[in-house]
A and B are shown apart, each in its own frame.
Chain A
């Protein structure tokens, strides 16, 4: 019973070619997050949505954008991927923000940039 689903699981793109990663949830949670995780590093929060309110982290590059068309879906758009953007991208959800609720993570999308 998948609760947070990410597609695709593996994505290969070319340097500079836009790519979109997808996340959907069956939990009806208010909050959806996108994290970037590089090898042997902690996940780094890129941004999150509380319902339709978008919250961008201060150090998230402009190259990264997000859309949340409805409660269930959230997309991560990388406008011009660079080699340094190769990473695992994790989507997570929680009922409330503020760190009091457990975040449920999807399986991740591994992005390769050629």
Chain B
């Protein structure tokens, strides 16, 4: 069964600090992996998307890495800001080309930035 596990479940850090969120998946074969940011009470917004041939991708202060061999991804947030407080969801798509139901969502990491 395809699964996406994220850790930690929740994280509290001080404003200005860096942090790294983890995503492990068992989806195989694998097409791409996305990180979404979901503010409380809002829909998810895409941050990065990586195919299995990509090792790293940046979007401003967000940097995602991917190791397709170990099936692990991380999202690194640099110089955190209060607006980074949100849930970060890892979403993995299989290489089946078939159907929307192929997406596997992680439960997310709830990040709180404290002033």
Contact = CB atoms under 8 A, between A and B. Distances in A.
B98 A100 contact: no
Interface stretch (B61-69, B72-80, B89-97): B89-97
Nearest to B105: A42
Nearest to A105: B43
Contact of A102 (B49, B96, B108): B49
A55 interface: yes
Interface residues of B, number: 28
A57 B94 CA distance: 17
- Chain A interface size band reads 20 to 34
Q: Would you list the 6 A-B pairs with minimal beta carbon distance, nearest first? A: A99-B93, A105-B43, A42-B105, A48-B100, A99-B102, A98-B97
Interface of B: 4, 31-32, 34, 36, 41-46, 49, 89, 93-94, 96-103, 105-108, 110
Given A40-B110, A105-B44, 18 more contacts: A31-B100, A33-B100, A41-B107, A42-B106, A43-B89, A43-B105, A55-B99, A94-B100, A97-B100, A99-B96, A99-B100, A99-B102, A100-B93, A102-B34, A104-B46, A107-B43, A108-B43, A110-B41
